[in-house]
Amino acid sequence: MGGEITERVAAALAELLDRDAITAVLHRYAEGMGSQDTAMVIDCFTDDAFIDYGFATIQGRAEMEEFFGAGPTGKGPIGLDATTSRMQLLPSISITLRGDEADVRSKGMSTYGGWRDGQALVVMRSLEYDDELVRDGERWRIRRRVHLPGWQVELPALSVPPVP
């Protein structure tokens, strides 16, 4: 063996690297959503991606830019007049690799802080994403996403950032 990497070890390493890269895409998406970084969020998707959030469907880069670039106002699915802070966590990620494609199921929670009728509120939602990712050159990107909403709770907030 003398320093040579066997085919089995090379294949296992390649699979681990792919799984890590796919997980990184989901973490970048969550970070981009939390920091309201539209470019970071859109970069996680292929140019022709299809997204079904249940309350909205999106096809392609132009619709992604319009949807994700909408800013802090607008009721959207959580019903706030203005969303001034948000965070998304995806602690559960299951990946099935198929060569240059992967089926990914992730579960987590999103939390939004904002305002409705002058009242500070926090909205928390469970979420589940059913994704299809593809290798796009040297990177992995989401080609298809279906959002499966779960529970949602809304609470008065002690404080949230003001509307800019």
What's the alpha-carbon Rg for the chain, to the nearest Å?
A: 18
DSSP β-bridge partners for residue 144: 50, 132
Is there a domain that residue 104 lies in? yes
Is there a domain that residue 16 lies in? yes
pTM: 0.88
Is there a domain that residue 161 lies in? no
Is there a domain that residue 105 lies in? yes
Q: Where are any strands of DSSP class E within the chain?
A: 45-52, 57-59, 82-98, 101-116, 119-136, 139-147, 152-156
Tens digit of pLDDT at every position of the chain (164 positions): 456 779 999 999 999 999 999 999 999 999 999 988 999 999 999 999 999 998 899 999 999 998 887 655 455 667 889 889 999 999 999 999 999 999 999 999 999 999 999 999 999 999 999 999 999 999 999 999 999 989 999 999 999 999 88
Those residues whose C-beta lies under 8 Å from the C-beta of residue 155, and which sit 6 or more positions away, are 121, 122, 123, 124
Is there a domain that residue 56 lies in? yes
Domain of residue 137: give its range: 7-156
69: domain CATH number is: 3.10.450.50
User: Which pLDDT value is given to residue 69?
Assistant: 77
Q: How far apart are CA 128 and CA 150, in angstroms?
A: 8
Is there a domain that residue 2 lies in? no
Is there a domain that residue 164 lies in? no
Is there a domain that residue 1 lies in? no
As given in the structure block, the two tokens for residue 119 are 């009242």
The count of domains in the chain is 1
Those residues whose C-beta lies under 8 Å from the C-beta of residue 7, and which sit 6 or more positions away, are none
